[in-house]
Amino acid sequence: MQTTHLAALADAKWTFSTRRVDRAFVAGTDRDFTAARAGDLILAQVESLGQHARVQLASGRPSNIYPGDLIVLACGARYAPDQFEGLAEIEPGGADLLAGGGCIGRMVARNERIKPATRLLPMARLLDAEGRAMNLDRFALAPVAQAGRIPVIFVLGTAMNSGKTLATAQLSLGLRRAGYRVAAIKGTGTGAFGDVNEYADTGAHWVADFTDAGMVTTYREPLDRVKAGIDLLLAHAAERGCEIAVMEIADGIFQRETGALVADPWLKDRIAGLVFACGDAVAASGGVAELARHGLRPDALTGILSCSPMAAAEAEAATGVTVLRKSDLADPAEANVFALRAFAGRVRAA
């Protein structure tokens, strides 16, 4: 175990993904990057700028980065069709900034419409006093004993950037306006403060994401761990007095983890409401059909298609499911309809 890089940590930029880390536990470093696993903390130097010219700090603000800057982030994978796919692998000669929230790994694919990844030079893996790798899972929320169950309205979508985050935020706002103590939660995805901040701006009683369950990203995590993380967040929501939760599930329903959740009886056991975000009527029709294959039916469609009355009419005609705009979701009367259905425990059979 080395202590060479410890002094540099004070000047490094600690990213959003590390926000729960107690830095006092860092006692040493090593360069055994081949042993790094998802969640391990890595000190890296910016080598050259690419797609990401900024990182999100643990303090909650963005920061420009420059070649030579030191940053602390977590090893992780990423799946983002609009940007990168990457694996939780650190090569000593160089690594990639997979997400501005603080995810370092090896890029394996990128969308041709964006720049190559910002390149990072791994400097050290952070260790504790016993020489163990510092990992985000150590700083996850503690298990909650005998937590009650609260109804959950899940927000799914056809793809990345289909309108899921906006829908989650607006429905949380509507429920809060209707007088409910609501939890707004990001259940899966890659750690970033944009979604969490958007949820918090609604005045939701409690806001959290999977990084609070000890994961920088849920991509390529075992399904049981993803489910356990969601259950942990819901248990904390209940313990904090929330009456209902709105939970966003990242990416589209064909994405690896999202598809597995949709097909799992575990989801049916927890779902009390379902909002489905789509880009157009064709996506809506296909998505509703795919959900029906798993015995699920949305209570409402929303997302980008809701911006167009024509697209909304097409989607409603094709699916028989009502399309709601963001203003509808934020309306306390409409949100209360969702809540009453959720509390009644209505089964959503296709």
Residue 230 pLDDT greater than 90, yes or no: yes
pLDDT in tens, 120-155: 999 999 999 999 999 999 999 999 986 678 999 999
Residues of the chain with CATH 3.40.50.300: 152-344
Residue 287 pLDDT greater than 90, yes or no: yes
pLDDT in tens, 98-108: 999 999 999 99
Which tokens hold the place of 173? Answer: 């706002």
Cα 196 to the center of its chain, rounded Å: 9
Q: What is the DSSP letter of 94?
A: B
- Quote the pLDDT of residue 6: 83
Nearest 5°: phi and psi at 159?
-170, 175
> Span 109-115, mean pLDDT?
96
- Quote the pLDDT of residue 92: 85
Report d(CA 103, CA 13) in Å as an integer: 13
Report d(CA 206, CA 240) in Å as an integer: 8
> Span 2-26, mean pLDDT?
90
Strand, coil or helix: 126: strand
Which tokens hold the place of 83? Answer: 């940007």
> Span 38-56, mean pLDDT?
98
Report d(CA 204, CA 181) in Å as an integer: 7
Give Cα separations from 60 to 55, 216, 249 (angstroms).
10, 16, 22
Q: What is the DSSP letter of 210?
A: G
> Span 290-295, mean pLDDT?
96
Percent of the chain with pLDDT over 70: 97
pLDDT in tens, 167-211: 999 999 999 999 999 999 999 999 999 999 999 999 999 999 999
Per-residue pLDDT band for 289 (boundaries 50, 70, 90) equals: very high
- Quote the pLDDT of residue 148: 76
Biggest CA pair distance of the chain: 65
Contact, 158 vs 278, CB < 8 A?
yes
pLDDT in tens, 255-273: 999 999 999 999 999 999 9
Closest C-alpha among 18, 5, 1 to residue 45: 5
Which tokens hold the place of 206? Answer: 């409690």
Percent of the chain with pLDDT over 90: 92
CATH of domain 152-344: 3.40.50.300
Report d(CA 194, CA 98) in Å as an integer: 16
Please identify which residue in the block is written with the tokens 């729960």.
20
Tell me the pLDDT of the chain averaged across its residues: 95
Per-residue pLDDT band for 3 (boundaries 50, 70, 90) equals: low
Question: Which has the higher per-residue pLDDT, 3 or 225?
Answer: 225
Contact, 61 vs 142, CB < 8 A?
no
Cα Rg of the chain, angstroms: 21
Of 89-93, 152-156, 305-309, the least confident: 89-93
Please identify which residue in the block is written with the tokens 């966003």.
248
Report d(CA 350, CA 347) in Å as an integer: 9
Residue 281 pLDDT greater than 50, yes or no: yes
Residue 347 pLDDT greater than 70, yes or no: no
- Quote the pLDDT of residue 293: 96
Nearest 5°: phi and psi at 309?
-55, -35
> Span 306-313, mean pLDDT?
96
- Quote the pLDDT of residue 350: 41
Per-residue pLDDT band for 30 (boundaries 50, 70, 90) equals: very high
Per-residue pLDDT band for 283 (boundaries 50, 70, 90) equals: very high
Residue 49 pLDDT greater than 80, yes or no: yes
- Quote the pLDDT of residue 7: 80
- Quote the pLDDT of residue 2: 66
User: What are the beta bridge partners of residue 73?
Assistant: 42
